[in-house]
Amino acid sequence: MNDYHKLVFFIGVLTLISLVQVSDASVVSTGDFNKDFFVIWSPSHVNTSADGHARSLKLDKESGAGFASNQLFLFGQIDMQIKLVTGHSAGTVVAYYLTSDQPNRDEVDFEFLGNVSGQPYILQTNVFADGFDNREERIYLWFDPTEDFHTYSILWNLHQIVFMVDWVPIRVYRNHADKGVAFPRWQPMSIKISLWNGDSWATRGGKDKIDWTKGPFIASFRNYKLDACIWRGNARFCRADSPTNWWNKERFSSLTSTQRRLFKWVRTHHLIYDYCQDNERFQNNLPKECFLPKY
């Protein structure tokens, strides 16, 4: 098998693993955007299907838009199928993230940075831990994310945060709190999704601006799954090793051998920026986790 066919095979294996996970999980999503989320910004730019199972956001000169989960969560897995803005999308940003919205906030970000026609999207990920960020990584995807829906997932537990694209792990942020590295582990977070004008920085550092004549710009969402611990005011419940908290089980404490192969494949062929390689930015004083194992 060539590398592409191997990737397809491994994705199939990971999909089966994910289906097994569901059997002992406590899924809290209804599948209806109207029931699990509320609009936080510009309702006139949010369009939801009659059955609530699909939603789109619009960006034009007037406004962008966004929505957020009704619940706060502490650990779990969030899956969202997304189809990104087609065509000339330079300057647009689709953000899909977890955030605690506190001064010393924790946050786990997917940010999809648009581009001029014919140039690929950039997927930027970032982690805020106890108010500290500057933890960006960027990759090119191995497919066109505007042609169809793809699944973007965040697995968050006591051991690690894993960013996944179609079940392929593209980034791991490990819990090294015992070594003095901040890790999101106490603050509950909500899910937020938005489409907005980021042309001051998003495409080539802000050199490529939004071309409003190409708008309106539309991003679409469907088939989400919220499989996470709902915040009830006590972190102990969500940190417990219980049948419903499957993500805290030992087998999810690190990447599997298959996941490691896929992770290395992404890092070798698709990584375009890693803060842990940016000595100039950090003046040769890279963050501590850059010298610690990722899995």
Active site (catalytic) residues: 107, 111
Neighbouring residues of 93: CB distance < 8 A, sequence distance ≥ 6 = 111, 112, 113, 114, 194, 195, 196, 197, 198, 202
Neighbouring residues of 258: CB distance < 8 A, sequence distance ≥ 6 = 10, 13, 14
The secondary element (H helix, E strand) that includes residue 239 is helix 235-239
What is residue 207's DSSP assignment? T
Amino acid letter at 239?
R
Select from 255, 293, 221 the least CA-distant residue to 34: 221
Rounded Cα–Cα distance for residues 294 and 289 (Å): 8
Residue with tokens 């990759």: 139
User: What is the DSSP pairing of strand 150-156 with strand 73-83?
Assistant: antiparallel
Cis check: omega of the bond before 120, within 30 degrees of 0: no
